[in-house]
Structure 1
Amino acid sequence: MFQHHRLEQTEDGYNVILYLEPNQTEFAKELGSKDDPALETDLKKGAIHYLRTKVPNLRVNVVKVMLGSMIIASIPLTQGMFANPVEASSITKVESQNLTYTIESGDTLFSIAQKYDIDVDDIKAANNLPGNTIKAGQSLTIPTAPYTVKAGDTLYRIARDHQTNVDVIMKANLLHEPTIFAGQTLLIPTSIQKEEEAAPGPVLVDTSHTVEAGETLYGIANQYGISVDQLKHTNGLSTNTIVIGQTLAIPKAQDTNSPAQPAQTVNYTVQAGDSLSLIAKKFGTTVDQIKQANGLSSDFIRVGQELSIPDPETQVKQPVLTDEELDTYTVKSGDTLIGIASFHNTTVDAIKEANGLTSDTIRAGQILTIPDNAPVTESDTQHTQTEADQAANRPAIYTVQSGDSLSSIGNRFGLSVSELMSMNHLTNDTLYIGQTLRLDETAATTQNRISYQTHTVEAGDNIWALSKEYGIPQAELLRANNLTTQSALSIGQELRIPVHEIAVQPTVSEKHGEFLDWWTEAQYVFPIDSTAKVTDFATGKSFYVTRTIGANHADVEPATANDTAIIKEVWGGSFSWEERAVLVEVNGHKIAGSMTSMPHDIQYIKDNHFNGHTDIHFKNSTRHKDGQINPRHQEQIQIAAGLIQS
């Protein structure tokens, strides 16, 4: 009945989250749609049997039952897991949000999995699909985990902690702006951990451990002097996959005098720019060995994928304690070994030796053992000299090449990942071939800024007219003044007006446009009632349009009948929904965009021979009908920005 489980530690025991098998969909639907004591009893019996088999020695207070990302029921165990299921406390059925995706023409399981940064197998398991065949209009459940936003959280931090990216979370929760608030519930697309039956047996639990960023089962097992197999058996795990925040029960070591059983593989998370050949070289093994160890039928890997590396000599070794006093340090984003060594007054070689490292590669969240008072070696002097040389030879602007990552670029030019992200206003580590990055603070002096001015309400003023006058969205003006669309303005009232200064961004070349985000940049550069020169990227033909309306993207109309004629010519003699890459020149910017030419809906400009308006999309803009990003528009925008080839 149940596929796997997860533990949540409480003050006086544990809550257990049980995940139903995908084939239990009908059971879950019946449970939620009718009051059937027999169904409730079956669920209680199944849950208690699972607990007795998998975690017999844990004090369990509440069982939460889930199907994929949906919370189905909550079962309080007031009498413990050995109570009669029929007499156990009544279950509470829970209605839960769920993320669904409606398949569009041209979609594949692979493209949908990429959109939400999860595996194809996860989607198939969540929807009980036997194969890869899908059809337009079909609804799919996207596996998610609910997360409640805490004070101080940012989307970047949440994405980092859940090993995904900001764009994926925004798409999954229909967020148009990267603004969140404490107490908000977000759905985080996540992989499903597949569970096989483990051999039952009594396990004496010693303590519990909450998984932190960068930890692995191997490291946790070593920390408590137990084997990985013991840890997996105690927690009912069949794979080495663990997630941040997961609570693991730690069994008592069977023999404190014998060392923990070493793992047969070392885990490695694929980074941007990696290939199987590069990873094999890094760990001194072969591509075939890695493919065999991970059941891979091709050389294709994806960023974030976890691989088992089958060479035991490259495993992280348990640090050997000597007479030196040892300390620990948790690696932060942007850290380097030379920086950590300098801060702790030790050497790179000493840190590598204490942690069994074979290269200078470290990752955020990794815990390093720091030996004190190690002598400075020639190699550390070379590290310092190398960083100084990198800074002296660093260009102001760098164009991203195939295989580049923020980490590799930072290492090449002596910068940390956090410095690169800050200088380039990046919210995640996704890069595009041809993208330009600032490598010098002096090149980053023209940053986007926001300031505020005051408007005193006069007779005839209204929110819509003021938002157009000041070139900001109506919703933003309302939010800045704690107003709603129903609020009345009074003469003499002072309104706070946001003023956005959007810096001109570097481009791939003179013929390409700035890759500006719609929500934070482009909509302020191209406000309602402004006129822009639009150039078709493929033909070079230009015309003028005026933005007349539109919040999710720019709704535009040809400025004159002559502009309409040029538009019709560009699209092959007739109006069309075909998306074309365009360059939009307005207010000192040349922005990469994507445009259609089909007239529809409201028309504001008369006598232009265009019966309605049409659409121009920019980076991350969305459709009006469903708030979703149109991938075909985004592809054309990247062509106009020079990030991909047409």
Structure 2
Amino acid sequence: MDLLKNFKLVENGDGYELIIYFEPGSTDVEFAGELGKLKDSGESLPQNLIDDIRKKFPDKKINSVKLMLGTVLLSSFMLGLPISAQAAEPSGKTAQTQSAYNYNVNVSINGKTMTFQDKPLIYNNITYVPVSEFGKALGAKVWWNGESKTVGIEGNGSSIAFVRGSVSARVNGVQKAMPASLSIGGTTYAPLRFIAENLGYKVTLDSSAKTVDVSAGANIYTVSSGDSLWKISSKTGQSVDSIKHANKLASDTIYPGQKLTIPNAGTASSTPPSPSVAAPAPAKASSPAPATAAAKTKWPDTTYIVQPGDTAASISKKFGRPAQDILKYNYMSSEEWFEAGDKIAISGYAPRANTVSPGQDTSPARHGTAVDWVLEGQYLVKRNSTFTVVDVETGKQFRGKMLGGYNHIDIEPLTASDTAAMKSLFGSWKWSPRPVVIYINGMNLAASLSGMPHGADTVDNAVSGHFDLYMKNSTSHSATTSASYIQEHAAAVKKASG
């Protein structure tokens, strides 16, 4: 359907107003009416129409669009579409609209000036970079979901996801305001500072050289069961004092799941002790889980089922307990977020077991340890975790990512090739589960995977929806799920454990 058959461009400020005319009785009128309804519901023009406008007027800045039925105004939309980055250098009046994009900016990473196929630019005094090229230059993974128009960047222990054109993004699951991204010639541009700083990098501006420099910031370390500051010091090459200083720790107390900032070598306040110096006794963790894990199977007196929109702060206010304690009692860091339906501990530590340890296995295997989902599994596989899935019967493998879930894992294959590998196990998509092993952080965990896509998805992987992945004592998210389906998963987990 060509909606741009009859139109007129009218100069409007620093750009143009596009007026699209529809003739009474034409086949396009019904669709035009649907576009008019979008305005009433607060929505914007469909992306395909926006793309058509860009293609039709590659050298014009379209500020607004009017839809006219004869002399009757159906609706109008503010657009503010800058001209294409690939447009030829214009002259005269149009040259003023070209200045909406300023390409007179350089980007360097750790002191090295980068060359991108799609040039960085300044728009509204904000430096923008092509997401895919910039992410790869940082060594991050960049993904795109064409159906939901969602962009994702994962690296340096952090993840960012946003819908193209939105003024907010999810950073490690937490929503943050973000300058709107741009789409220029099919390339998605995002604000450099927002992306870099939320991935843990430092951003500085050299105005004289017109260069924005991105340099490695501090690394983030997630505390594991059995860790002490001494062990972390030995692993990272940074002194205990420098780690305590970077994280404003008043004591040596740390707990599993806590995220620690590890300073760069150049910012360390002192060096770690020589290997010949005797190591101090491991620091006592503030979470009692490592010491009492086997016996910690009961919930405290006060618990709570998370409701939509709940945060640590709101739950803290509701129960009159410090937010940090609520996070600590549930083995969570301040960067993690609660999911509606989760059962959490309020007056003491949640039940937890420790039957496996990170790094105990060196490679994926066809049998794994059956760990209890509630007591242990949910702390080992968390939202946005990536891992290898091994099919017990065939030994075939594919990579997966945890989308979410509280009673079991909602999993997505990581790429289209991973989806193909997974589908080859089932032949065709079906609910019947298969015994599998999850290999994550050097641990092989027994599990059960069903093969029917359903519900939400976030990854561009050639399948719409996610899949159920159960561990020992996992249950359904829905009270209407049949007992036989849950039992099938339990039997598959048992088989996966050998």
TM-score over 0.5 (shorter chain) = no
The alignment's TM-score, normalised by the length of structure 1, stands at 0.24
Give the greater-gyration-radius structure (CA).
1
The alignment's TM-score, normalised by the length of structure 2, stands at 0.30
> 1 or 2, which has the higher helix percentage?
1
> 1 or 2, which has the higher strand percentage?
2
